[in-house]
Amino acid sequence: MKALFYIIIFVALLVACWQFVKLLGLTKIENQTATDKENNINGWLLLAMMAFIFGLMIWSLFGTRHVLLPQLSASEEGYHIDILFKITMTMILIVQFVMQILIFWFSFKYRGNVNKKAYFFADSHKLEIWWTVIPASVLFILIGYGLWTWNQVMDSSDAENPLVVELYAKQFAWEARYAGEDGTLGYGNVRFIEGSNTMGVDMSDKNSADDIPLTPDPTSFVKELHLPKGRKVIFKLRAQESLHSAYMPHFRAQMNCVPGMVTQMAFTPSVTTAEMRKNKDIIKKYEGINKIRKAKGEEPVEFDYLLLCNKICGSGHYNMQLKIVVEEEAEFNKWLASQKTFAESN
Amino acid sequence: MSDHHHKETFVTKYIFSQDHKMISKQYLVTGVIMGIIGVFMSMLFRLQIGYPEKSFGIIEAFLGRSGEGGVMTPDMYLSLVTIHGTIMVFFVLTAGLSGTFSNLLIPLQIGARDMASGFLNMVSYWMFFLSSIIMVISLFVETGPAAAGWTIYPPLSALPELIPGSGLGMTLWLTSMAIFIASSLLGSLNYIVTVLNLRTKGMKMTRMPLTIWAFFITAIIGVVSFPVLLSAALLLIFDRSLGTSFYLSDIYVAGEVLHYKGGSPILFEHLFWFLGHPEVYIVILPAMGIVSEILATNSRKPIFGYRAMIMSIIAIAFLSTIVWGHHMFVTGMNPFLGSVFTFTTLLIAIPSAVKAFNWVTTIWRGNIQMTPATLFSIGFVSTFVTGGLTGIVLGDSALDINVHDTYFVVAHFHLVMGISAIFGMFAGVYHWFPKMYGKMMNKDLGFLHFWITLIAAYGVFFPMHFVGLAGLPRRYYNNTAFPIFDDLLQINEVMTIFAIIGGLAQIIFLSNFFFSIYKGRKAPQNPWKSNSLEWTTPVEHIHGNWPGEIPTVYRWPYDYSKTDENGDLWGGQDFTPQTVPIRQGEEEF
């Protein structure tokens, strides 16, 4: 019933809008397509709009700096992506500024006037060729550099002694297991799920016994995915029932988890959690966050790397996270040694 | 078709009409009503994103049990974004935009008495109407409407165990879309046949207005790609109801392994995007055609590079069918395929750039008449450029990795195909309203509508890029679950305020639209002093469009401000309609 009330308000506004126009007597009759007054007012407004858009762009570019991801990529592969991103963004911004100036300035400058005559200008092959060739050449450079970067990021075939980790996604949590001594994950399939074997690992596979499942930290009761700095990590991704996506924004890494198949991504962490906490972008961002949290009466937080789900997977999609800790390789090895393999925990 | 004498009843004139002009009005009004629903949904979920911890009476009033206490449930949030996307993309921007203007303008601008098949045209509209009704009914089912995102990726869309919206709601969604696709195909076939066969004497393909070129090519893309979505939907229906495993394999739900084996959700993604990407061009090409026509007419200048414009429409259409994989860079698709799709995707920027430059050159040294239609066309070019440029980021596989499925994508496609296309639609409505209803719309309300809408559109979608660059994933019900996003709330609040202003501004349009139909000033024969054929028909609609013979065409439609050898305007006016024969000493363009 309340909905009806809102609908009546809506209709009333609709009617009021028209009545208002009638009251002001704005429904006038004129023979021109647009009067000079209309051309002038809208022409100037278009110029003002250009100022608004540029203001908004500059505010968005600089005013949102402190909320963005840190400029420093936490992985070696991300470093290449960041360079490509900067080059692309610079080009885009230049084109954006030039084009918007042209659009709004021309609209303003050539606003209609009864005494003016438009210039009949229908074609120019020279111009057409120029503005096919220029975007084409810029794009070929971007495509070339983009594909080189793509290969750098996706190709992990030449990695020496990589750490192999399985990430297993389900509604609405992450599980993980490390490949252990042999560097190979035992076969996994949801058909093996039983009791404590929540990831469906085939325990009869000889590679399974030394695999190390990720268990909650005994003190904080929070699951922490530890990764070593400077060693290539190959992630094998699986999903239990729905699509999910393993998204690690700080590492510039993302790959979907697909039921029925194993997908893969890889990167080399290059900044430890401790180092990142000293990064000036992070310090500034977390100062801002903690100020907001304090105002709301919430506990202050410290920076941590995160794994998020980035493919719609159900009602809990928005809260499917896993904490990631990057540490020096020696610390990591110590941590890994303290974890139990499947064989040990049974 | 040229039978002027048969008797018309209320039913044959207004309801089961076979007249293309009436069918176009039916499409428009249905599209507008669906648009109200779609935009209203976006205002509700923007409230949730901007104010996650507040409760709103309006949410409780409209969402009932799913909005108890004035806060919506996560499932309802996902339903709203799903149905918002579906309605806006298909029902408003495909049927409402292309259906309206293809139907109105194809026969009028090429000089035909009606569509090739008036009956198929009527069936096409009524199937669209039926699919709209089914989609609206799905909003009221107990388990909620479809909630798997407008892309309905299985397994989420296949298994009600995963999300309640995948029960009856998804069944209705699929039924509605299957009927919609059939409707769209009937319409498209009709457009193609009409353009190819029913052009009047002298109307060579290279004398057609760019609107017709755009509708024609759009219809071809529709015929090529929509059937693929239909087959994708059918296979999904089989998986849901008949126990097949096209898309499903190795699924463990609620303590048991389901029987599905051997299927792959990636197959669905390929099939979906084989339509899904051309679909964005199905949405934007008609808007481009409309904008080209309006900018030329109201700048009182020929469109710059007519042939280049046609070539770029064709190039975009061709490329649009071989770029779908750029939606799938991080789905587990072979990285080599990713490289190929990066290459083809970035190529699309070239014809798009040509179009943008040509529009800018068209207004250069013009005599721009600032009608609401002109303003919306200028707004179109601006938002198309702003939104299009970020496509260079998203189409580059390496860069896509980190912005895929974040708000950066949402900002990109809303500007480039949402706002732009809807601007094209508004421009078309303001421009051809006199042709549709024989009345003029109120200009001042049109101006007000434009200015608030443009500012709100930029206010919502420009900052949204940066929320995406901060790493915020889309389709998150609540952004407060992660402390890392706490500092984005303020920007989200600003965007929500702009969204609500922009949504409410549409009341101005609706008021102007519905009242002008009845109370508007009577339209003159050719209110914009335009060259094209539709303005030679009488203001009052008649069957067969022209009372006597169909006029013959002698020139292209863009002879604005053409001068003779002395530099004087031909005939003393700044336009030369297509029906005027080439004068002595004049060169045809």
* pLDDT at residue B188 greater than cutoff 50: yes
Residue B55's pLDDT is 92
Query: A192 and A92 share a domain?
Result: no
The residue among B139, B163, B330 with the most chain A CBs within 10 A of its CB, best to mutate, is B330
Asked if the structure places residue A19 within a domain, the reply is: no
Cα dist. B530→B210, B215, B273, B298, B492 in Å?
A: 14, 19, 39, 8, 44
| Of A106, A135, A150, Cβ closest to residue B360 | A106
B462/B459 Cα distance (integer angstroms): 6
- Given an 8 Å threshold on Cβ–Cβ distance, is A21 in contact with B569? no
Tell me whether residue A332 is in a domain: yes
Instruction: Select from A45, A189, A306 the Cβ nearest to the Cβ of B484.
Output: A306
Is residue B5 over pLDDT 80?
no
When CB atoms are compared, the residue of B371, B386, B512 closest to A33 is B371
Give percent above pLDDT 70 in chain A: 97
Spatial CA neighbour of A310 closest among A190, A169, A113: A169
> In this model, does residue B510 exceed pLDDT 90?
yes
User: What domain range is A312 assigned to?
Assistant: 163-345
Chain centroid, CA A307 distance in Å: 12
Tell me the CA distances in angstroms from B412 to A56, B88, B302, B416, B544, one per residue in order: 16, 16, 31, 6, 43
- For residues B157-175, give the mean pLDDT: 95
- Residue-wise pLDDT for B263-285, tens only, equals 999 999 999 999 999 999 999 99
Q: A172 and A149 in one domain? A: no
Crossing angle for the helix pair B265-299 and B420-437, to the nearest 10 degrees: 50
How distant is the Cα of B548 from the closest Cα of chain A, in angstroms?
Answer: 28
Indicate which of B250, B309, B345, B447 best probes the interface with A, i.e. most A CBs within 10 Å of its own CB.
B250
State whether residue A170 is helix, strand or coil.
strand
Residue A25 inside a domain? The answer is: no
Whether residue A243 is contained in a domain is answered as: yes
Contact B393 A92 (CB under 8 A): yes
Let me know how many helices (H) and strands (E) chain B has, helices first. Answer: 19, 2
What are the chain B neighbours of A258 within 8 Å (beta carbons)? Answer: 264-266, 331-332
Whether residue A183 lies inside any domain: the answer is yes
Q: Does residue A28 form part of some domain?
A: no
Instruction: With CB atoms and an 8 Å threshold, state whether A319 touches B481.
Output: yes
For residue B354, what pLDDT is reported? 94
Q: Do residues A240 and A145 share a domain? A: no
Residues A82 and A218 placed together within one structural domain of the fold: no
CB within 8 Å: B162 and A43: no
pLDDT tens digits for range B192-229: 999 999 999 999 999 999 999 999 999 999 999 999 99
Confidence of residue A31 (pLDDT cuts 50, 70, 90): low
**Among B83, B452, B487, B514, the residue to mutate for chain A (most A Cβ within 10 A):** B487
Mutate to test the interface with A, among B257, B370, B480, B518 (most CBs of A within 10 A): B370
- Chain A residues with beta carbon closer than 8 angstroms to that of B155: 241-243, 259
Cα(B102)–Cα(B88) distance, rounded to whole angstroms? 18
In a domain, A6, yes or no: no
The answer to the question of residue A32 being in a domain is: no
Amino acid code (one letter) for B84: H
**Chain B contact probe: residue of A44, A47, A92, A107 with most B CBs at under 10 A:** A107
pLDDT tens-digit map of B476-508: 998 888 889 999 999 999 999 999 999 999 999
A254: helix, coil or strand? strand
Q: What is the pLDDT of residue A157?
A: 84
Which two tokens mark B520? 């508007």
Same domain, A132 and A273: no
HEC string for A197-250: ECCCECCCCCCCCCCEECCCCCCCCCCEEEEECCCCEEEEEEECCCCEEEEEHH
**Which residues of chain A lie closer than 8 angstroms to B375, CB-CB?**
42, 46
Q: State whether A200 and A297 are in the same domain.
A: yes
- A254 strand-pairing partners: A247
Distance from CA of A208 to the nearest CA of B (A): 20
A321 DSSP β-pair partners: A308
A-B CB pairs within 8 A amount to 404
Q: Which residue has the higher pLDDT, B400 or A1?
A: B400
Strands (E), A240-300: 244-248, 253-257, 263-267
Specify whether A208 is located in the same domain as A146: no
Looking at residue B161, what is its pLDDT?
93
Residue B387 has which token pair? 């939104």
Judged by a CB distance cut-off of 8 A, whether residue B443 touches chain A is: yes
For B487, the closest of A32, A135, A285 (CB atoms) is A285
CA distance B391 to B549: 48
Together in a domain, A59 and A95? yes
- Please tell me the number of Cα atoms within 13 Å of B128 on its side-chain side: 33
Q: Is B393 in CB contact (< 8 Å) with chain A?
A: yes
Cα–Cα distance for residue pair B468/B406, rounded to 1 Å: 5
B532-553 pLDDT, tens digit per residue, is 999 999 999 998 999 989 999 9
Domain containing residue A262: CATH number: 2.60.40.420
Search chain B and give the residue with CA nearest A286.
Answer: B484
Alpha-carbon distance of B108 to B504, in angstroms, equals: 34
> Considering only CA atoms, which of B497, B327, B476, B499 is closest in space to residue B419?
B499
Tokens 């937080």 correspond to what residue?
A301
Which residues on A lie below 8 Å from B514 (Cβ)?
14
**Predicted confidence band at B6 (pLDDT cuts at 50, 70, 90)?**
low
Question: Measuring CA to CA, which residue among A145, A78, A317, A237 is closest to residue B331?
Answer: A237
User: Which residues contact residue B574 at a Cβ distance below 8 angstroms, ignoring those fewer than 6 apart?
Assistant: A117, A118, B300, B367, B529, B560, B561
Share of residues in chain B with pLDDT > 70 (%): 99
Radius of gyration of chain A, Cα coordinates, nearest whole angstrom: 29
* Whole-number pLDDT of residue A28: 59
CB nearest to B405's CB, from A122, A245, A321? A245
- For strand A212-213 and strand A173-178, is the pairing parallel, antiparallel, or unpaired? antiparallel
A80/B558 touch (CB, cutoff 8 Å), yes or no: no
What ipTM, to 2 d.p.? 0.95
State residue B1's pLDDT score. Answer: 43
Residue A262 shares a structural domain with residue A284: yes
pLDDT tens profile B419-431: 999 999 999 999 9
A178 lies in the same domain as A147? no
The answer to whether residues A290 and A232 belong to one domain is: yes
CB contact under 8 A, A260 and B75: no
| Structure confidence by residue, pLDDT tens digits, B372-393 | 999 999 999 999 999 999 999 9
From the list B367, B389, B406, the residue facing A95 with the nearest CB is: B389
CB-based burial of residue B227 (10 Å sphere; 0-12 exposed, 13-18 middle, 19+ buried)? middle
Q: B476 vs A318: CB contact, 8 Å cut-off?
A: yes
The per-residue pLDDT for range B292-311, each reduced to its tens digit, is 999 999 999 999 999 999 99
pLDDT of residue B2 exceeding 50, the answer is no
**Cα B310-B314-B317 angle, rounded to 5 deg:** 140
Nearest Cα of chain B lies from the Cα of A284 at a distance, in angstroms, of 11
Q: How many CB atoms lie within 10 A of CB B119?
A: 12
Name A197's bridge partners: A194
Q: How much is the mean pLDDT over chain B?
A: 93
What domain count does chain A have? 2
Give the nearest partner residue to A313 out of B156, B346, B442, using CB atoms.
Answer: B156
Say yes or no: A242 and A145 in one domain: no
**Tens digit of each residue's pLDDT (9 = 90 or more) over B329-363:** 999 889 999 999 999 999 999 999 999 999 999 99
Across B463-561, the runs of DSSP E, i.e. the strands, are none
Closest CA to A26 of B440, B375, B557, B70: B440
